[in-house]
Amino acid sequence: MPSGSDTTEEAVSGTPPDGPVPSAELGATAVTARPRRARRLAELARREALRTGLAVVSGLALGLAFPPYDLWPLSLAAVAALSLLTRGRTARQGAWTGFVFGLPFFLILLKWLHVVGWDAVVGLSIAEALFVTLLGAALAVTSRLPLWPLWTACLWVAEEWARDRLPFGGFPWGRLAFANTGSPFTPLAALGGAPLVTFAVALAGALTAACAATLWGLRREGTLRRAVPAFEAFGLAAAVALAGFAVPVPTKADDTADIAIVQGNVQQAGMDFLGRPMKILDNHATATEKLAADIKAGRAKKPDLVIWPENSSDLDPFQYPQAYDRIDRAVKAIGVPVLVGALVDHPSKKGYVFNEGIVWDPKKGPGASYTKQHPVPFGEYVPFREQLSKIITRFQRVPRDFYPGNHTGVLQLGPARLGDVICFEVAYDEIVHDTVDAGARALVIQTNNATYGRTGQPEQQLAMSKLRAVEHGRAVVTAATSGISAVVAPDGTVTHRIPEFTQGVVSARIPLRDETTLADRVGAAPEWALAIVGLLSCAAAVASGRRGRTKDEKGQQ
């Protein structure tokens, strides 16, 4: 054999017979290795290009399933696509597919954050896509197990479980359930809340993928008998999708309350929506006084209570007498209790504020209040403020940190016992569940979306209110400074609505209900059970793979 051959023992082992290779030769070897590595990467990129492109398109499709686009069938198609793209792949390959699926999904879903900065959109999208990366790896690992569509659905719930809690209390935006607030899956929320809706959507999508995979495998030698599993999978997917029609959604009211929602509007959209001091407060007070004048003139019916939105008082009424007096005059004019949203200075911690809903009585003045329990990180408070503010100067626009409350928002307003939930808290299962469990007969979502006006974010939040109405069998009243203010019936139907950036008042009679749904009674149990099953399926797949490798190794000995 010629001396230059690379098949000698010395060449294979990498150790020359004459001792160590001189450094010059090592350098030449390293230079040679780089083009080889580059060629391998280029070959890998070419091989994965189609799959990566399909994952990107599928992620974009999932984004279009959510408001303001509301193309909910795309959520099924996206789940099916991700299931097929990760099927039979390694964990590493599945992770990459999950990431390139998740990143465009969150970019289109969270583009409303561009008001803060496109870097915020990209940063949060990458952070959220990391959870889908883990989901992609898990889907790939479990795709070889029997009943894999079932494990796929459980893993979607597990991914959302983690994303809803981590980090800093989580960020639940983008749950499959929130894309299906007006679909056949919606009534399932009354049985098991948002997690059950996500499970059903993911299961139907994975079963559709199983049907497609089976039919694709029959493209050359297909027979009717071998196609039976495909028909079975499709039939099960249809059954899951239609199961919601069999779920009763009770709406019968024990009694009712007449309410008025005041949307005072703001000076401008964006980060600087506040305008001059007292402007937003004056807008809401003026609209309330106009309603009082209409009632006195017989043009409108007097409500039992009035609801103002989050931050409807842009000054602390307990620190600024002019704000207190302006609120008090408006409340006295209407003559019924008003739920006022205000930022209130912390009594003992300088630099901290409470985001509160305050019951303001026309005779007694301010009384019971609810403090937002879950402030938004980096929006309403800055974690590691001292360190991060030196690096990201934009955080200086959040001059004070919101201090979290420690109790639910059940408040008595006139004849109604309402549950106050402030802004993004509507996305968190446990906060809304605890409020209903504490005795709320209807729900109020006080919100201020002026920063994100006309970006699609208000529509996404309203969709969550629709799901919560069905989940808890409660009317949901959304009061927003600049819109969208709305009334949602217990069956998820929007009965009244004020457009964005319009000053207006909507009057409605809402049902007050005491009956609880099955979702109220079981709480978070379905989510925990489904998430644990998903994680156990991963463990089973890993263990099965190891046993298979051990058998192969023994067979080769």
> How many other CB atoms sit within 10 Å of the CB of residue 347?
8
Q: Is 221 a catalytic residue?
A: no
How remote is the C-alpha of 441 from its chain's centroid?
25
Angle between helical axes of 148-163 and 118-142 (0-180°, round to 10):
150
Catalytic residue among 128, 211, 356, 372: 372
Tell me the helix, strand and coil percentages in the chain, rounded to 5: 55, 15, 30
Give, in degrees to the nearest 5, the angle at Cα 17 between 14 and 21.
Answer: 60
Q: Is 154 a catalytic residue?
A: no
Q: Is 466 a catalytic residue?
A: no
Burial class (CB in 10 A: 0-12, 13-18, 19+), 316: middle
State how far the Cα of 324 lies from the Cα of 360, in Å rounded to an integer.
Answer: 10
> How many other CB atoms sit within 10 Å of the CB of residue 550?
10
- b/e map of 440-453 (b: 16 or more CB within 10 Å)? bbbbbbbbbbbbbb
3-state secondary structure 458-478: HHHHHHHHHHHHHHHCCCEEE
Catalytic residue among 423, 500, 527, 538: 423
Q: Residue 119 is encoded by which pair of tokens?
A: 């870097």
Q: Residue 194 is encoded by which pair of tokens?
A: 């948002």
Catalytic residue among 160, 310, 356, 471: 310
Q: Which among 135, 125, 200, 122 has a CA at the least distance from the CA of 161? A: 135
State how far the Cα of 90 lies from the Cα of 536, in Å rounded to an integer.
Answer: 18
Name the 3-class secondary structure at 340.
strand
Q: Which helix (H) or strand (E) holds 11?
A: helix 9-13
Residues 448, 423: contact at Cβ < 8 Å?
Answer: yes
Q: Residue 274 is encoded by which pair of tokens?
A: 């506040």
Amino acid residing at 252:
K
Catalytic residues: 310, 372, 423
